[in-house]
Structure 1
């Protein structure tokens, strides 16, 4: 009888880690790490070349298995996989698929258990087994019919090799390992019994159970004592080491064959990953297998990879066609919406067209304002398009249908564009925001990237339609056929993304974050951006002139100090003056080889008493105010509304904080005279007041809450000066004798600790040596011991999970927390310490915004929420509503969440943003 070919089982997870540590970091053109994927693909190719009968790759499905239920500390001390390895795990599965190799995994079990179960099944049917792995745990399966090949040592291991290594037959390895324990898996074993002692005991007693039944017969006193004290540990260890041979098999043996090889799939995958060097090996392998390579398919390098071809992208040019499409769309529960315009500024953009998609692959584009080729008249609109006047009445019922979910990717932009034309859209979902809630800043959230990641689809690029540089055109000059494919594709893949991403919110327990915080905030931010804020251009022009005069005077003074004129805006010339001509102490060299003149270096020189660096810093500050605010703000005033309309981004920070741009209204200085002058240019409408509600020391209050610090909690409950209290405790000074200097130091420590400040950083802030700063920090931790334990616990959580969480459950990802560089790792740990506090503060103010706007809507008030500046909200309120709405808005902000300490929102009122006075309700 002929012996059947062996079933070859490959320990895929072992290959991945081996490839990761063996190769230098590699990245795809989009930044995705692929070093381990490359190594894995190379190893898989080698197996294909040598194992002609085919093989199956078995993976671990995850870190948690049934062994963790038996023993929670199983593998507990192992660090999580490196951040740059995590995105490579799914790609290794894709390698197998591309090569036509079956890969298997099953949740709750390790790859070793699945290998053991398939081994048992194969032996039942008389099929020999060859296991490819270097894992010693798999040696318990070795027999005359089961061999193990260690690819690293290039060695086949059979029963004799096991006997030589462990001193026992393969059947007894479990018992030996149970006594020895396994530090790498955190399996306890029996303390004091090593490999030789364990082998001797099992040789004499045959099994662990027999040994434990006859401990009194053990001759060595130390072994006897340890066995008596650790009987349960020994039994537990055996349970953990023994492989589970009855795992439900995901596929029958008959299905474990190499699939028919698709040349196009292999070549496409390798080119997509950037593995050009593997292609010749693949070609040689396929030729050896008498598989011809389709030359048309091997020329894919410049062509996009399409996951699912579009079923129907329709260009709608008639009312009838639009009505038919909308009639069909109403049969579905949701529809994706995207607008095409002439500008990124939603309130200045002209609407060019609208695309819609109600089921994957079925999308339409409605052109509204496309023009013929660029002409001097610039008004030659294509006649065959529908007009906006005809389209709006048809779209309005669909957009305002509360039973139909409207989905967009960065839908806030589309809401603003359509609102300009009298179209309001509700209810809404945003796939960009959902992606952000799920994955934070560890991945880009643009549609091109996500389409590639989730669907292996390369989208049409905007620049390929409009060009770049001098030849760039606006979208209204893109030909209709190309515009249709681009716009419809955007709507199509937005809908597909929604199908993939929305279910993840529930699976990953982030639905509450999205549904109660970020989704309701989208419409609120859209309203705030649409409303804008009134700015006095005359005041800004006057201030710009004043700043220019101040800069001229400073420039003259600086030239006198330097001994000659030079260009103050040139770092190279300044470097020559400071370090070559004046001979000041040099700092670090910049990229061009000159000594750096960055702010930190100049501040250090100024602190040493040098006048020129001090004056340069003043000049730079004025130049920044002029270029960033006075001059730029004037150009950003909307000519129709006479207001500036900032844009709030929800997906740019790691903690959930909002960021403001075009213009950035969150960074206007508040503590300088010139900064206040800029704020004075922001005005209310006649008969209105600004009401500012600003959370007081919110992150310190959150620290007291999460770290449970009794003295801090008590101080906040009693409304004491927290910085004076800290100064008194840290510097052992009676509270009544704490002067402003000590309070300043305590304030720097209080806020510095929140950001994980180092002794060097605190020393720089206070102008003292790092060793003195370290003594302050040590004294602080002794004063508030719970803070240090909170910090250590938070860092450990970040190292284990790769993220930390806010009080509301938002995940703040720390991508480099396990980086190989100590400096990068230390910076990431400081991020991890602060992220739960800053993230919770961000969530709190989002909740406050939502509740505040709800109140204004319920009251049908004409008051508006205009700005969010980190921990501050700015409202524009009619004078006759201030006394009634003010206290209620303050109450809302202070009652958003119940903490161990009170939240306090300080109120101030004024007719311009620079002259706000404290107000008590």
Structure 2
């Protein structure tokens, strides 16, 4: 045996299985067997093998699993783990395959009838420690923290620590003490007092982690803590300790790890060597895990010990894990080879590429520009890809802006545009983009109207909306090219920062040397084409074709055109508003200082918190991790219920509101007026909102207050050109109408069919009469119920007690039982399938719908209730937008331009003479947008108004 100290790694395989299952979407292998958890488990095991540091890594390793759901603890306490639900149906057939996966890595896979994995881990850990070996338990299970520590063995001291791969964190004595407040030998005593609802360990009712820790730390053991109860002063705690002694002592037995199990495999037989590829290749081939096979083939991912879990080098961002994608690729593609790309510097070579693209009938296209603003960016180059590694970059404006600088050989801009234009406009050639809306606008400004197109970002969104962790830094919700490439291709593309640098040393793309520019730009087109080949087949296989082809893909050029149109804003009006807001905020600031009794920075949360909670002594202050008091909107709103506090908090809230409107709109809009067009051009995202709604940025027009006087003042600054008017067409109560249809609520359907005021009808049903107050309450309830609001949420909105709010919810469900049935069926369906679906087939995934974290789960449930309704509303207005301009052109109304889409509203600019002819066409297109795919039981009503400003059009 080597002189190197022996180090045994014990992997808690059972924890890996459930992490893998809940982290990845459903997958099936070529035989049709579910393998999502198998794939996730395999990648996690692979990552572990990859990341273990050779200097501090294992000499021996084994995976420990639970044999079944029963153990000797059930003989002691039959209710042990009785609360745990059975494994999901699609996970059960994966258990034996997970064992196959472990053996494919040629690793010991150990399990024993009647024992839990924790007991085997404890027994192996202690045996190794007795031999003087070090042990690392790969798990975050709190029960196993009882084992952490160092003891002398036969061959020196043996240390047991833990490795939490989710956080890339080592767990030593300090970490255990930080979590439990006691040493590892007393962790079991703390666990026995606090119990565990997941494992159905009773503990003592009402004794939580803090109390349990305090009792054990003070008395030194569970027995001593229980023995102290009779001498305590009369209290609830005393009663609970006296009454719960038997339950606590039982719990102590249940949480005690069995450290003397028979060891089915000797620890010496767990020696870890190089992992043979044969069994692993066979396993990966059997289950269609082709991307993992590529790692082996490329020699970049062979699962040997590498270098990243040394505690000194732990990744602070945590283990995000690798996500392969939602199905395995059908065809093999070679690894990305940047050296294969061509730099096209002559017109002849460019013409050869366009000839090949025309013959291929399919080409991926990407543009390189001088700016992220498509309406001001200059075209710097174009890249094309016809197949994996068959890609090129065509530099057009490299060499910088210095007239004396030496410029590289490149095709003249006019000649390149003339060569590219026929192919890019050819209806017989399909052009594939990633976030193509941007490229369409850049190329349109160069005189090229690209069509037809495909967009891999939109494809990804239509397949996997909600599966990511939320919005990415790029604001495109986890569907950016780099993220998709890593997820689906296992390839990390060059980043813009790598090419152009950052900070003061950053250079424009046009100054990047052509060789490096080609690697970056051509790779973008290459990766886009690869993603297309992977995502396009999934659309038909996973039911995404309808929403992509009938709703989202047709919308891309429509939205691009709207962005090019922009909207005129009255700079003088905005400047006047900014001046007024500045005066108002100055006045408010002075009044706030007078109430506070001193001057301070109202915009500083830290200073404001000190004024409110220290100087003025208001209750309810809570400090965050930074040590500063929270002064967020909710905190100030809550404080405002105190008349004394309201004197300052209401002024602060108003000051914040005005300051935000000034900085976000009246100041920012002036700066965002395009110097070439004189208009403001918002940028729409087709993937920014999980339910399918469009979102806008630079500027964000979704957040302008609709009904407040100040919001209306801002809308007054949006104006038409001379001789034109603005027309606003707004769906009336579309989500309530859709709820009536989707929940099959006869009362509401009847009310909409008869043109009744729906909130008055609800007030009649709920309260028996219609008054200003009951109608307002009914309106709040109507919308709140569709967002899955809780009794506490409704109580807050209506300013009533939670019990009264619950009574209103109960009455609502009694009057409209279809709504309750819809909510119940929706949650059941999402729980089973993992996603909701609109009437048009748009899927929104909710990976946390079964989260053990109550806040996460309830948040997912609220979103899941609303997603089918809000998503269907989004689908309908998108269908209307795609049909709108063709319908107007067919009527000869070529001067009507569609400018904005905000929530349920479309804004047009048109000559005043065309209003009478355009209005009924716009109304008809919007009212019939669901047809013929969906026939609704309720009419869609559209409110249309016109005026000399956006506000006047309402």
Tell me, yes or no, whether TM beats 0.5: yes
The aligned counterpart of 2:825 is: 793
Q: Is contact 1:40–1:92 with CA below 8 Å preserved after alignment? A: no
1:629-644 correspondence runs (5 A): 629-644=665-680
CA distance change for structure 1 residues 915 and 44 in 2, over 3 Å: closer, same or farther? closer
Tell me by how many angstroms 1:390 deviates.
1.1
- Name the SS of the counterpart of 2:465 in structure 1: helix
1:612 to 648, 656, 670: 648
The aligned counterpart of 1:248 is: none
Alpha-carbon distance between aligned partners in 1 of 2:284 and 2:581, rounded to the nearest angstrom: 74
1:513-528 correspondence runs (5 A): 513-528=547-562
Alpha-carbon distance between aligned partners in 1 of 2:449 and 2:20, rounded to the nearest angstrom: 54
Alpha-carbon distance between aligned partners in 2 of 1:16 and 1:677, rounded to the nearest angstrom: 61
Alpha-carbon distance between aligned partners in 1 of 2:418 and 2:356, rounded to the nearest angstrom: 17
The aligned counterpart of 1:685 is: 721
The aligned counterpart of 2:839 is: 807
The aligned counterpart of 2:882 is: 850
The aligned counterpart of 1:433 is: 458
CA distance change for structure 1 residues 522 and 557 in 2, over 3 Å: closer, same or farther? same
2:369 to 329, 341, 346: 341
Tell me by how many angstroms 1:630 deviates.
0.6
Alpha-carbon distance between aligned partners in 2 of 1:624 and 1:258, rounded to the nearest angstrom: 55
Q: Is contact 2:49–2:306 with CA below 8 Å preserved after alignment? A: no
* 2:425 is aligned with 1:400: yes
The aligned counterpart of 2:918 is: 885
2:442 to 393, 417, 437: 417
* 2:816 is aligned with 1:784: yes
Q: Is contact 2:365–2:382 with CA below 8 Å preserved after alignment? A: yes
CA distance change for structure 1 residues 849 and 276 in 2, over 3 Å: closer, same or farther? same
1:268-667 correspondence runs (5 A): 268=301, 270=303, 276=309, 307-310=335-338, 312-371=340-399, 377=402, 380=405, 382-443=407-468, 444-609=478-643, 610-667=646-703
Tell me by how many angstroms 1:857 deviates.
3.2
CA distance change for structure 1 residues 407 and 266 in 2, over 3 Å: closer, same or farther? closer
The aligned counterpart of 1:676 is: 712
Q: Is contact 1:763–1:773 with CA below 8 Å preserved after alignment? A: yes
* 2:941 is aligned with 1:904: yes
Tell me by how many angstroms 1:903 deviates.
0.8
1:230-245 correspondence runs (5 A): none
CA distance change for structure 1 residues 457 and 791 in 2, over 3 Å: closer, same or farther? same
Partner deviation per Cα, 1:426-468 (whole Å, 9 max, x = no partner): 0000011111111113132111122222222221111001111
CA distance change for structure 1 residues 21 and 531 in 2, over 3 Å: closer, same or farther? closer
Alpha-carbon distance between aligned partners in 2 of 1:758 and 1:271, rounded to the nearest angstrom: 51
The aligned counterpart of 1:19 is: 16
Alpha-carbon distance between aligned partners in 1 of 2:717 and 2:745, rounded to the nearest angstrom: 43
Tell me by how many angstroms 1:306 deviates.
8.3
Alpha-carbon distance between aligned partners in 2 of 1:909 and 1:272, rounded to the nearest angstrom: 69
CA distance change for structure 1 residues 86 and 720 in 2, over 3 Å: closer, same or farther? farther
Q: Is contact 1:335–1:358 with CA below 8 Å preserved after alignment? A: yes
Tell me by how many angstroms 1:909 deviates.
0.9
CA distance change for structure 1 residues 562 and 809 in 2, over 3 Å: closer, same or farther? same
- Name the SS of the counterpart of 2:407 in structure 1: coil
Tell me by how many angstroms 1:265 deviates.
6.3
The aligned counterpart of 1:715 is: 751
- Name the SS of the counterpart of 1:268 in structure 2: coil
Please identify the structure whose Cα radius of gyration is greater: 1
Alpha-carbon distance between aligned partners in 2 of 1:884 and 1:567, rounded to the nearest angstrom: 55
- Name the SS of the counterpart of 2:301 in structure 1: helix
Alpha-carbon distance between aligned partners in 1 of 2:638 and 2:916, rounded to the nearest angstrom: 49
Alpha-carbon distance between aligned partners in 2 of 1:100 and 1:505, rounded to the nearest angstrom: 37
CA distance change for structure 1 residues 429 and 835 in 2, over 3 Å: closer, same or farther? same
2:909 to 876, 886, 892: 876
Give the TM-score of the pair, scaled to structure 2: 0.68
Partner deviation per Cα, 1:2-31 (whole Å, 9 max, x = no partner): xxxxxxxxxxxx99755335999999xxxx
The aligned counterpart of 1:914 is: 951
- Name the SS of the counterpart of 1:363 in structure 2: strand
Tell me by how many angstroms 1:641 deviates.
0.2
Tell me by how many angstroms 1:76 deviates.
12
- Name the SS of the counterpart of 1:782 in structure 2: helix
Tell me by how many angstroms 1:581 deviates.
1.5
1:740 to 769, 772, 776: 772
Q: Is contact 1:652–1:659 with CA below 8 Å preserved after alignment? A: yes
CA distance change for structure 1 residues 688 and 776 in 2, over 3 Å: closer, same or farther? same
Partner deviation per Cα, 1:253-277 (whole Å, 9 max, x = no partner): 9x96999999886773558998657
- Name the SS of the counterpart of 1:746 in structure 2: helix
Alpha-carbon distance between aligned partners in 2 of 1:902 and 1:390, rounded to the nearest angstrom: 54
Alpha-carbon distance between aligned partners in 2 of 1:909 and 1:341, rounded to the nearest angstrom: 38
Alpha-carbon distance between aligned partners in 2 of 1:554 and 1:44, rounded to the nearest angstrom: 59
The aligned counterpart of 2:27 is: none
Tell me by how many angstroms 1:647 deviates.
0.4
1:730 to 746, 749, 766: 766
Count of residues in correspondence between the two structures: 704
Alpha-carbon distance between aligned partners in 2 of 1:86 and 1:856, rounded to the nearest angstrom: 56
Tell me by how many angstroms 1:590 deviates.
2.7
Gaps of 5+ in 1: 1-13, 53-74, 102-129, 137-149, 156-251, 279-304
Q: Is contact 1:79–1:799 with CA below 8 Å preserved after alignment? A: no
Q: Is contact 1:541–1:631 with CA below 8 Å preserved after alignment? A: yes
* 2:870 is aligned with 1:838: yes
The aligned counterpart of 2:739 is: 703
Alpha-carbon distance between aligned partners in 1 of 2:17 and 2:604, rounded to the nearest angstrom: 45
2:854 to 808, 815, 822: 822
Gaps of 5+ in 2: 1-10, 25-36, 53-57, 63-83, 125-277, 286-292, 312-332, 469-477
* 2:797 is aligned with 1:760: no
- Name the SS of the counterpart of 1:442 in structure 2: coil
CA distance change for structure 1 residues 883 and 26 in 2, over 3 Å: closer, same or farther? closer
Partner deviation per Cα, 1:50-93 (whole Å, 9 max, x = no partner): 999xxxxxxxxxxxxxxxxxxxxxx99854779xx999999999
Alpha-carbon distance between aligned partners in 1 of 2:861 and 2:825, rounded to the nearest angstrom: 11
- Name the SS of the counterpart of 2:466 in structure 1: helix
Partner deviation per Cα, 1:508-551 (whole Å, 9 max, x = no partner): 11111101110010000000000100111111111101110111
Alpha-carbon distance between aligned partners in 1 of 2:566 and 2:97, rounded to the nearest angstrom: 45
- Name the SS of the counterpart of 1:460 in structure 2: coil
Mean alpha-carbon deviation: is it higher for 599-608 or for 571-580? 599-608
Alpha-carbon distance between aligned partners in 1 of 2:951 and 2:723, rounded to the nearest angstrom: 18
The aligned counterpart of 1:186 is: none
Tell me by how many angstroms 1:915 deviates.
1.7
Mean alpha-carbon deviation: is it higher for 611-620 or for 443-452? 443-452
CA distance change for structure 1 residues 90 and 480 in 2, over 3 Å: closer, same or farther? farther
Give the TM-score of the pair, scaled to structure 1: 0.70
CA distance change for structure 1 residues 80 and 846 in 2, over 3 Å: closer, same or farther? farther
Tell me by how many angstroms 1:395 deviates.
0.7
- Name the SS of the counterpart of 1:331 in structure 2: helix
Partner deviation per Cα, 1:358-385 (whole Å, 9 max, x = no partner): 122111111011115xx8x477361512
Tell me by how many angstroms 1:607 deviates.
3.1
CA distance change for structure 1 residues 702 and 22 in 2, over 3 Å: closer, same or farther? closer
- Name the SS of the counterpart of 1:441 in structure 2: coil
Q: Is contact 1:335–1:405 with CA below 8 Å preserved after alignment? A: yes
- Name the SS of the counterpart of 2:640 in structure 1: helix
